[in-house]
A and B are shown apart, each in its own frame.
Chain A
Amino acid sequence: MSGLNGIGLVVEDHPSQPIEWDNALPILHEIRHGLHRLSGGGEPTLIDLHALPFGPGDEERLLELLGRGEVEADIDALGPTRVWETAFPGVWLVDHRNAQGERLALHIEIASVPEILRSQSEDIADALTRLDACIAAGAGAPNPPPTNA
């Protein structure tokens, strides 16, 4: 197959105009309903973007529409998780990845603070025990945090 270069091929770098699937806009309405519930009675809402039938580019379009807000956080637990507030306060993006950086789940969380950012009640109880032990020891370096806590 030495003569492949002789075949006249035209490669289009980009489509003449991006395809609009229109699957992102309806999510904004769902977010609006969630924000209304949060504003009215404090009820949080979770939307699993993984479960939605998005076409190529729909997710990017939605994230672009939501924009970026003031807060961003990185969590290192079972792989990285990035959390950021969108340009609409109370609307958060939670992007769960595994250790290889592959996405496990992408959620829109409509809440004052995303649940994953809160300290877990069992961890708080463990922290109290450890701090008590540290104080009882009198001084010295505090105990290291447990790796499996």
Chain B
Amino acid sequence: MAASKTLGERLREHGVSRRGFLKFCAATASMMALPPSMAPAIAAALEKARRPSVIWLSFQECTGCTESLTRSFSPTVEDLILDVISLDYHHTLQAAAGHQAEAAREQAMKENHGEYLLIVDGSLPGPDANPGYSTIAGISNYQMLKEAVAGAKAVVAVGTCAAFGGLPAAAPNPSGAVSVMDIVKDKPVINVSGCPPVPMVITGVLAQYLVFGKLPELDEYHRPLAFFGQSIHDRCYRRPFYDKGLFAESFDDEGARKGWCLYRLGCKGPSTYNACATMRWNSGTSWPVESGHPCLGCSEPKFWDAGGFYAPLSAPLGSPGNTLLAAGIAGAVVGGAAAAMARKRAAKAETERQPVKIDELEQKL
């Protein structure tokens, strides 16, 4: 349950010295995408911060969001953030199961009514859908969410499924999946989208709540501007190549080897807002574009249904049967000439492709 000790006291209990605390605040500022000069202000606020109760509900999800958070490779800061919140219910992580787990959730909701932070990952069958598609302890996701939201101070939707419906809501959406903000209208909702979200963004949002005791500034999709305020394209280290008109045309051509812009290989960076380009993945080791793969746009609404992952943004949307109509739509945005060029490049790549059949490969082995 939420304890009365301040965060500063708890960190000292962990053996964190004042210099260590200053370092923790510097890392937290970096994680929160705040200027490092904010570290003293963060230190002052964290000294007084109380340990909030957090209830984490998982609905139609793959557990990738929880994996992203708990498998992050910078355990000191993330663990400390997790240590200083009171995670009262998370059915993947908690030891309790069955009715005991549900009792813990109900107790935490009762004791911290109006104060707890509700985190949700996964979409849920909407109010008009068959609730049997996803239940926990015999309770429909919809009912559990409504009950938990009633006493929550705010709701954090973690991952694209919770934020926008994600994969379960992709066409033809068999379970009638909806996002959290489709249901929750009377409480603040913060969307931390991504498939999965960058772990430091999840903890950054929690840290911001701990530090300032209020919710961050959000964009039109309810995402925190500190992390989703700039496009992947604008923060991409390959951007200078885009500006020079230097593009990789296939995954193994000279442009790809020289690290040129991946726009023509379907990079969704120009229309995607996320922090991958600066925070990176696996303890800051790399991120998709640095590995030579276009951004899929996983933090944007309906990214599963937004055309092919490898179709350039300027290419027509939809199936060939819809090409004329879709080309008109795309053309209105980026110009029909660009769409025509993309088709021409695709046709050229098709004619030049030299497929290797499995029989031929076997003969070589």
Contact = CB atoms under 8 A, between A and B. Distances in A.
Given A19-B259, A78-B20, A105 B15 contact: no
A19 B365 contact: no
Interface stretch (B28-36, B56-64, B139-147): B28-36
Interface string B1-33: 000000000001101111111111011011001
Interface in A66-105: 75, 77-79, 81, 94, 96, 98-100, 102-105
Interface footprint category on A: 35 or more
Given A53-B277, A78-B24, A2 B365 contact: yes
B236 interface: yes
A55 interface: yes
Contacts of A4: 365
Given A48-B35, A50-B278, A149 B74 contact: no
A50 to B, nearest CB: 5
Nearest to A123: B18
Contact of A79 (B76, B235, B238): B76
A51 B278 CA distance: 5
Contacts of A3: 364-365
A23 B259 CA distance: 14
B76 A51 contact: no
Nearest to B287: A53
A130 interface: no
Interface in B333-347: none
Contact of B76 (A1, A50, A104): A104
B37 interface: yes
B204 to A, nearest CB: 12
Contacts of A148: 12-13, 15-17
Contacts of B77: 98, 104
B221 interface: no
The A interface, classified by DSSP as helix, strand, loop or mixed, is: loop
A78 B237 contact: no
Contacts of B250: none
Interface in A115-144: 115-116, 120, 122-123
Nearest to A102: B283
A22 B240 contact: yes
A54 B237 contact: yes
Contacts of B75: 98, 100
Interface in A45-65: 46-48, 50-56, 58
A81 B21 CA distance: 13
Contacts of A122: 18
B185 interface: no
Nearest to A17: B258
B84 to A, nearest CB: 14
A139 to B, nearest CB: 28
Given A6-B364, A21-B240, A53-B278, A105 B30 contact: yes
A41 interface: no
Nearest to A52: B278
B257 A15 contact: yes
Nearest to B200: A50
Contacts of B74: 98, 102-104
A19 B240 CA distance: 13
A109 B33 CA distance: 17
Contacts of A147: 15, 17
Given A47-B36, A79-B76, A104-B76, A149 B18 contact: yes
A52 B277 CA distance: 8
B19 A116 contact: yes
Contacts of A10: none
A22 B243 CA distance: 13
Interface in B233-268: 235-240, 257-259
Given A120-B22, A148-B15, 20 more contacts: A3-B364, A22-B240, A47-B36, A48-B29, A50-B279, A51-B30, A53-B235, A56-B259, A56-B290, A58-B237, A75-B19, A79-B23, A81-B23, A98-B76, A98-B77, A102-B74, A104-B30, A107-B36, A116-B22, A122-B18
12 contacts: A3-B365, A23-B237, A47-B36, A53-B237, A55-B290, A99-B76, A104-B74, A107-B26, A116-B19, A120-B18, A123-B18, A149-B17
